[in-house]
Each structure stands twice: as structure tokens, then as C-alpha cells.
Homo-oligomer: A and B are copies of this chain.
């Protein structure tokens, strides 16, 4: 293994498209990573296209893009955002044509359901004695509901009616400050799945479907092969494992989950090997 950190701006020149993970790569708990705009300029200058590929179903691509634009990063337009929430929405589009979709998350996250002309029913509004019209359950976000009451209600819904459950974010946790994390809806989903003993349908990295969806999206900018794409992420188990499995070259950056003084040991203990390592996307 040749896993010494290299300059991101040098190594990226070998690719035509970059997939960036969002958290730990472009931003962190303090906000946008300083000088990330210079990297976007550099990519533009060298005709390298980029996308943000993120496990996030709390908001739609419009709102996600807006959060970058407010910080002056105009390049991050909605068309460049590919989120696990979009995959869940595509799944509903193909598999659920009628009826009511119960959901767990903020009222805002319901737009993924309403976009499709389906009826969205917040878990707090579900009447457990009258579940006939509910055709599926969608787990979107860890906020916007009462954990104790509504997680138990969702579990009992699944015990009373056999319906598909779609999880729109596979992450177990997300960072909320320098030291602290919060449990993501993917973590709650694992507990629920274990308790009801049923199989949920999960969307998000490292699953190949996330990368296929991104790969399909970029084909409208011209024919791109896997060899021409670089996946950049801060997490071995999601970004790098998923990118590797899909056949992409991968670059681990050390600005998030994986610390500079521990990355070699983590690669060794997990057996997940990135193609490159960079200190950050501005290096």
C-alpha cells in the first residue's frame, strides 16, 4: 500500500468527475470547511465535474443546495446533489402507486412523499387502531417526533400490518459538535428491525444503489466510465467501501471521521483500502 497523504488538487487531475461526501469533507460541525471554494474553482478550471453524494433525507436537494449557497458556494446547485432521500423517493415512485405512506421525521421531510402525489401521514397522527389505508412506512429523519411514543407506535404498526419499511438514511449517527454525536434514523431503524424481526429496505452509502443512482445522473453530461470517477469521503465503512465496491477509485480525506493519526490503523483493522489519502479537499 502507498497510503501517504497526497495533494488532493494534484491527484484529482486524473479524473473527470468527483463525488464528494458532504459531512466531514465539504463541511463539519463548524460549517463549511475553510477555502473549499478554491477547490471548486480548481475543478471548474480543469473541466472536472462534481456531485455531492450524501446520506441525508432530512431535506430535499433544493434545501440542501441552499445551505451551501448561503455560504457563498454557488457551484453547489440542486442538480449536483444526490441524497439517500432521493433514492427512497425513487423507490416509492416505482413500488408504491397508491395509498398512504406513514413516515417518521420532520414535517418538512414529508415532501419526498408528497412530490409523488402520495398521502403522507406523520407517525404521531397514525391511529394504531385504524391502519388499513397505510401501505408503507418511511423512516426519514431522527427529528420531528417523540422518540418514546412514536418509535413504539411505529413498532406496533409493523406488528399489526405487514407493509414495506423504507429507511432513507443508513447512517447510525451524525456529529453535532467537536466531541458529540447524535443517533441518526438509521440507528433507530436497526433497533426497530431487530425488535420486529423484519427486513427493512435501506438506502444510502455504502450500498451500491446510491452509486448507481449517481452514475446514472451524470451520464447526461456525456459518457463517463467508472475509471474516470473519484469518490471522496471521510468514512471508510460508507464512502470508501461503497465506492470501492462500485468499482470507483476512492480518496480518504482526514477532515472528519477518520483522524490523521489513526487512519493507517483503521485501514488495517477494517481491510477497507482507499486508492488515495489526502489531508483535505483543499490540500
Residue ranges of A at the interface with B (Cβ–Cβ < 8 Å): 1, 90-91, 93-95, 128, 142, 146-148, 151-152, 155-156, 158-160, 162-165, 172-173, 179-183, 187-188, 190-191, 194-201, 207-209, 212, 226-227, 237, 241, 244-248, 267-273
Contacts and interface: CB of A to CB of B under 8 A. Distances in A.
Contact of A197 (B142, B148, B159, B269): B269
A155 to B, nearest CB: 7
Contact of A199 (B95, B183, B208, B272): B272
Contacts of A91: 245, 247
A223 to B, nearest CB: 13
Contacts of A200: 271
Contact of A209 (B147, B155, B164, B208): B208
Contacts of A194: 172, 187, 190
A183 B247 contact: no
Nearest to A1: B162
B94 A162 contact: no
A201 B244 contact: yes
A156 B180 contact: yes
Nearest to A247: B94
Interface of A is mostly: helix
Nearest to A97: B227
Number of this chain's copies in the complex:
4
Nearest to A94: B247
Contact of A201 (B165, B245, B269): B245
B179 A183 contact: no
A3 to B, nearest CB: 10
Contacts of A191: 183, 187-188, 190-191
B183 A195 contact: yes
Contacts of A268: 162
Given A162-B1, A180-B128, A271 B198 contact: yes
A152 B176 CA distance: 11
Contact of A187 (B160, B195, B244, B272): B195
B195 A172 contact: yes
Nearest to A172: B195
A275 to B, nearest CB: 9
Given A163-B271, A196-B271, A197-B270, 11 more contacts: A94-B226, A95-B247, A147-B151, A160-B179, A162-B267, A198-B270, A199-B237, A199-B241, A201-B244, A201-B245, A209-B212
A81 B144 CA distance: 41
A182 B148 CA distance: 9
A238 to B, nearest CB: 11
